[in-house]
Amino acid sequence: MVANISDASSGRRIRFPTAFTILFALIVLVAGLTWLIPAGQYQRTYSEALDRDMPVAGTYEQVEANPQGPLDVIMAPIAGLYNPGSYEANAIDVALFVIVIGGFIGVITKTGAIDAGIARAMVAMKGREKWMIPILMALFAFGGTTYGMAEETLAFYVLLIPIMIAAGYDSLTAVAIILIGAGVGVLGSTVNAFATVIASDAAGIPFTSGIVLRFVILGLCWVACVAYVMRYAERVRRDPKRSIVHDRKAENEALFLKGQSGAASAPFTGMHKLVLGLFLATFVVMIWGVLKGGWWMGELTGLFLASAILIGLITRLGEQPLVDSFLAGARDLLGVALIIGLARGIVVVMDAGRITDTILHWAELGVAGLNEVAFINVIYWIEVALSFFVPSSSGLAVLSMPILAPVSDFAGVGRELVVTAYQSANGIVNLINPTFAVVMGALAIGRVPYERWLGFIWPLLLILTIIITAALSVAALIA
């Protein structure tokens, strides 16, 4: 995933580093910080409700440094995939989930059902394609606000990208619909068990406290996001040269719409309908499993594996074609799986270097003595900074809420506002966070270079920041 940028003055082309290089450079940078930032730790106490250790406010103390050297840097991506000493740092479950989804899509593609279905959908939606954007973004936002939909979205990119390209848009439009749609839901989490509920429990308040403000933030931000994505998509449809990934148009069409030439006249058979029905049912079961069954990556991976086998048997692909198509699809997403492990390696280095708690302690000291409006805005920006290093919403909640929530009592600010500031900050950062595996994985699937994603989304980030900080400030004043 390399972007070429023309340099008019020299006539040469500047090669922007790949996602792999960017993430490895961040590992090296964080390892360097472990030599400069004092090592420290909070005392921790076990919470039965959250089933994990939580830091205790006021107990920070410096400890013996453990600076990370060259060997630690090399081992970080490996430990990011599988670190037996830290469940939070492990990414092997997500990486395997992505690989199996690739195999699942490979089998579906082999049946021809996706090509025939896309062609039929384009005929049915002709002239109304743009309304898919708000509908889909509403569905993904619902998943984000209710259960923190994130890793699960990786399964949808390979389905939606061909549809958006066939509709006259581009791969970035599809990535934006899913990544921003689910992301704005997480940003405005209302009952998200992995963010709001954990953070509220850690702060010692009911998770329903502050829910009205969170609905307001969710609604305003969702409207802004939908308008922004629809504006870009319509611009691309009218003039494909305005696409941020226009230079990859032919390549992406060949990759994502392979088999589409003539597909419009191809029959949409009963077998195709059955396969797409099973395809849809797999995702319905996935959502049910997460919400009601207590499933996570292991169970979800097994679901997609079983569904791939079932579809292969029903369509009578044959043993060799079934295995070959599964392996081909898995191979297509192998790079995405490796990126996920590399991104998680950054957190591994921070924790091993014992600087995570030090950064949190500096944040604790930074908010002392501020008035209500200043306090809640500083809390927001502290959580923004912490989110770059701790992208996990539950991990950041457990790390920061026991420290920062009690401090709000002295500033006269309700703890529910601190929870809202935390989840809004974490949600907005995870739209661009290179340490967040979902971002880098989504861009890799959509073949969108990271720097182009930043160029696309930064005006929206500014709009969302204004909405969030204005809402937090007003709430702090009237509380």
Q: Which of 119, 127, 215, 115 is nearest to 471 (CA)?
A: 215
Q: Which of 352, 401, 398 is nearest to 51 (CA)?
A: 398
Give the SS3 label for residue 466: helix
- For 267, half-sphere exposure in the C-beta direction (CA atoms, 13 angstrom radius) is 3
Query: Is the Cβ–Cβ distance between 398 and 167 less than 8 Å?
Result: no
Query: Is the Cβ–Cβ distance between 464 and 227 less than 8 Å?
Result: no
Tokens for 477, please give them. Answer: 């004043």
Q: Which of 140, 236, 215, 146 is nearest to 179 (CA)?
A: 140
Residues 6+ apart with CB under 8 A from 23: 339, 342, 343, 345, 346, 434, 435, 440
Distance separating alpha carbons of residues 425 and 472, to the nearest angstrom = 11
Judged against a pLDDT cut of 50, whether residue 121 lies above it is answered with: yes
Beta-bridge partner residues of 61: 41
Judged against a pLDDT cut of 90, whether residue 427 lies above it is answered with: yes
Distance separating alpha carbons of residues 151 and 171, to the nearest angstrom = 19
Domain ranges of the chain: 20-34+71-478
Q: DSSP secondary structure string, 181-211?
A: HHHHHHHT-SS-IIIIIHHHHHHTS-TTTTH
Distance separating alpha carbons of residues 124 and 122, to the nearest angstrom = 5
At 237 the pLDDT is 92
Query: Is the Cβ–Cβ distance between 125 and 132 less than 8 Å?
Result: yes
Orientation of helix 113-125 relative to helix 92-111, angle to 10° = 80
Q: DSSP secondary structure string, 221-256?
A: HHHHHHHHHHHHHHHHHH-GGGSTTGGGHHHHHHHH
Residue with tokens 């970080």: 76
Tell me if the pTM is above 0.75: no
* Burial (CB count within 10 angstroms: exposed 0-12, middle 13-18, buried 19+), residue 135: exposed
Q: How far is CA 311 from the centre of its chain?
A: 29
At 353 the pLDDT is 92
Each residue of 434-452: pLDDT tens digit? 878 889 889 988 989 999 9
Judged against a pLDDT cut of 60, whether residue 4 lies above it is answered with: no
Q: DSSP secondary structure string, 24-91?
A: HHHHHHHHHHTTTSPPEE--EEEETTTTEEEE-TT--EE-------HHHHHHHHHHHH--TT-TTT--
- For 200, half-sphere exposure in the C-beta direction (CA atoms, 13 angstrom radius) is 20
Name the average pLDDT for the chain.
83
Distance separating alpha carbons of residues 282 and 288, to the nearest angstrom = 10
Residue 83: which pLDDT band, with cuts at 50, 70 and 90? low
Distance separating alpha carbons of residues 4 and 451, to the nearest angstrom = 11
Give the SS3 label for residue 16: strand
Amino acid at 356: T
Report the percent of the chain where pLDDT is more than 70: 87
At 363 the pLDDT is 76
Residues 6+ apart with CB under 8 A from 266: 112, 115, 116, 119
Residue 322: which pLDDT band, with cuts at 50, 70 and 90? very high
Report the percent of the chain where pLDDT is more than 90: 36
Judged against a pLDDT cut of 90, whether residue 347 lies above it is answered with: no
Q: DSSP secondary structure string, 125-158?
A: HTT-GGGHHHHHHHHHHHHHHHH---GGGGGTHH
Query: Is the Cβ–Cβ distance between 103 and 317 less than 8 Å?
Result: no
What phi and psi values does residue 40 have, to the nearest 5 degrees?
Answer: -165, 165
Pairing verdict, β 40-41 and 52-55:
unpaired
At 276 the pLDDT is 85
Residue 12: which pLDDT band, with cuts at 50, 70 and 90? very low
DSSP 18: P
Each residue of 88-101: pLDDT tens digit? 546 787 788 878 98
At 463 the pLDDT is 97
